[in-house]
Amino acid sequence: MPTLTINGTEVTVDAGKSVLQACEQAGVDVPRFCYHERLSIAGNCRMCLVEMERSPKPIASCAMPAGDGMVIHTDTELVKKSREGVMEFMLLNHPLDCPICDQGGECELQDQSVAFGSGDGRFSENKRAVEDKNMGPLVATTMTRCIHCMRCIRFSDEIAGVEIMGAIGRGDHTEVVTYLDGLLDTELSGNVIDLCPVGALTSKPYAFTARSWELKRHPSIDVMDAVGSNIEVDTRDGAVMRVLPRLHEDINEEWISDKTRFAYDGLKKRRLDRPYVRKAGKFEEATWGEAFAAIKTGLKGAKGNEIAALVGDTADMESMFALKGLMNSLGSQRIEARQDGAALDAKIRASYLMNTGIKGIEDADYLLLIGCNPRSEAVMVNARIRKGTVKNGLKVGRIGAVADLTYTVEDFGDDASLVKAAKGGRHEISKALKAASKPMIIVGQAALAREDGAAILKMAHDLADKYCISEGWNGFNILHTAASRVGALDLGLTTEEGIKGLLKSAKTGDVKAMFLLGADEFDSSTLADTFTVYMGTHGDEGVKHADVILPGVTYTEKAGTYINTEGRVQQAEKASVAPGDAREDWTILRALSDIVGETLPYNTLSELRIALNEAVPETATLDTLPEADWSDFGTDGDIAKTPIVPIGGNFYQTNPIARASDVMAECVSVREGATEEATGTNG
């Protein structure tokens, strides 16, 4: 471990660290543009020059490995002059159009030119101008502002795994481009906006809508998938202006997917902003009182288990808990959360969690994907797998449909019965699992949503039991697609019959009334003759055959608890204001319980959370990777020798918010080359 002196202070750093990292460790700030701790070192901006004793020239600290006995100065006249010189060069061709630049106020170049820029430039020639590029509907470009730090190129190569960005030409003619001016075709593309230290790459949907200093920042949790990415929701006057990632090393690092970042315009479109009651086939606006009265009338004649409920994919713990309370008070246990029909077992926690954890993927040396496409189902998990393959030599095999995941995958076929063969011991999958010291499997919902899903779950359990469980290592993972799913399973919101059975019972009249808590991912036409109450946010699938609509709020408009696919409990703050008469879901349920059943025993969010903690003790521990006890689960049975059909639907339109978003629709159409495709509710 080298020890070096930085500005007179001795500091010992790990071998392999750079001088810049050593400076950071010593608490000395070094300006930089191209250096980024999660990307490879480029050393092309020269802003991080520092003085090293016995070196004739200043050194680029980001690219210089820290060596024993180095004496570094960052506060000398030479360093000051170097930085000023680099900054002057940087600004030669920079347009200095900060007043009309979206990056203004959060621009690294702006900040550093305040510190190191001279008041005047000495360059009296014409500045160069660069044509803007079209990178698609998400990333706006003003390439004249580019300072060629190449962070975006390195990000798309290294993290996103799509080699389509590059720098063409040289010297004064260097331009950062996407190949042939094409779409920046990755579901992580929005992150280049955060990485760009200047205003060359900015957010297209956010363009010119707000200034960074006008925004209120609210820590929140993403609900677009089951990863629970940590996000910051920025609002102005109660409206969401943009969504940014928040650092969480164990989940999303500092990235988020494009759906997480850009679907927010869907929060303002097609919203249910007041209660509606269907009268003579048509929805009529109603007051809360009228809506509740209509529900009371509708529930007449339905007793106990004749009332059922379906839970949607973006529900928070509080509303699910309140729904469960309401249903139980009506005497019904029929609440189902598995809209996709996955044969998940709510009894054993380890059976439905990503036990290894997202960060744990980095430690694994072999990964078997069973019926899942992490690139579309959980972008951040996919990015982590890619990181494992790049940094740790992780090998990936797959049973399931072929899809490009941005890393090399060994395909064994998509026949579900391969899971059995893999367990057997003779198949090459078994050999690979056996040879690995930390093998893991990820089972996707596509594998579990089949008729033989329970048998596949059992077989996956046996497979994991045989190869993937060792001291301190649990390699059995379920990858969920819905933010609410793990929480719903923790609450035990499953039924014997599953969603198929429930919908069939609705047709036969065994179920007379149905509550939908934001449930939109099923064919609601089966509920045409059932008294249906839809409680949710958007005019999507669920309202089509509803009789009463109660306007709820989206994830940014309420304080909510979410449990991600790892079983990690996280809480989001309320960030924005709900439209019209919409109310937080648990308060609706609490008010409704007053009228149709027994009053739920909590009046405030904190009272509800105390009750929730008692019912689900796991929710009391925030932001911790749980260690669920390993035991037997699944049901023995035959596995059909049929292909595992991947989850349908488009990545950009998996929930009501994303389906209401024009930006997401544009992401779809630009890829399909279609004009007016997929803006409807059928996703």
Partner 1 sequence: MSAATKFAWTPENEAEAQKHIAKYPEGKQQSAVMPLLDLAQRQNNGHVTIEIMEYIGKYLGMPAIRVQEVATFYTMYNHKPIGKHHVQVCGTTPCWLRGSDDIMAACKKHLGIEKGETTKDGMFTLGEVECAGGCVNAPQVSIGDDYFEDVTPETIVDILNKLAKGEKVTPGPQNGRQTSAPLGGPTTLADFKGKTAKSGGDA
Residues engaged in binding partner 1 (CB under 8 A): 163-170, 177-180
d(CA 129, CA 145): 9
* Shortest separation between residue 486's beta carbon and partner 1, angstroms: 38
Instruction: Choose between 164 and 311: whose C-beta lies nearer to partner 1.
Output: 164
The token pair that represents 136 in the structure block:
């698609």
- What SS3 state is found at 321? helix
Instruction: Choose between 185 and 497: whose C-beta lies nearer to partner 1.
Output: 185
Nearest to 387 by CA among 367, 407, 411: 407
Residue 367, phi then psi, degrees to nearest 5: -130, 130
* Shortest separation between residue 291's beta carbon and partner 1, angstroms: 57
* Shortest separation between residue 57's beta carbon and partner 1, angstroms: 25
Nearest to 193 by CA among 202, 206, 204, 183: 202
d(CA 57, CA 116): 19
Instruction: Choose between 186 and 314: whose C-beta lies nearer to partner 1.
Output: 186
Instruction: Choose between 39 and 569: whose C-beta lies nearer to partner 1.
Output: 39
* Shortest separation between residue 189's beta carbon and partner 1, angstroms: 15
* Shortest separation between residue 153's beta carbon and partner 1, angstroms: 9
Instruction: Choose between 166 and 626: whose C-beta lies nearer to partner 1.
Output: 166
* Shortest separation between residue 253's beta carbon and partner 1, angstroms: 24
d(CA 253, CA 251): 6
Instruction: Choose between 179 and 473: whose C-beta lies nearer to partner 1.
Output: 179
* Shortest separation between residue 673's beta carbon and partner 1, angstroms: 18
CB 547 within 8 A of CB 540: no
d(CA 534, CA 606): 26
CB 204 within 8 A of CB 137: yes
d(CA 569, CA 645): 31
d(CA 561, CA 185): 33
Instruction: Choose between 192 and 517: whose C-beta lies nearer to partner 1.
Output: 192
d(CA 150, CA 166): 8
- From residue 622, how far is each of 84, 456, 527 by CA, in Å? 46, 32, 38
Instruction: Choose between 164 and 447: whose C-beta lies nearer to partner 1.
Output: 164
The token pair that represents 620 in the structure block:
């009391």
d(CA 239, CA 289): 28
Instruction: Choose between 11 and 147: whose C-beta lies nearer to partner 1.
Output: 147
* Shortest separation between residue 166's beta carbon and partner 1, angstroms: 4
* Shortest separation between residue 173's beta carbon and partner 1, angstroms: 8
CB 200 within 8 A of CB 131: no
d(CA 12, CA 74): 17
Amino acid at 229: S
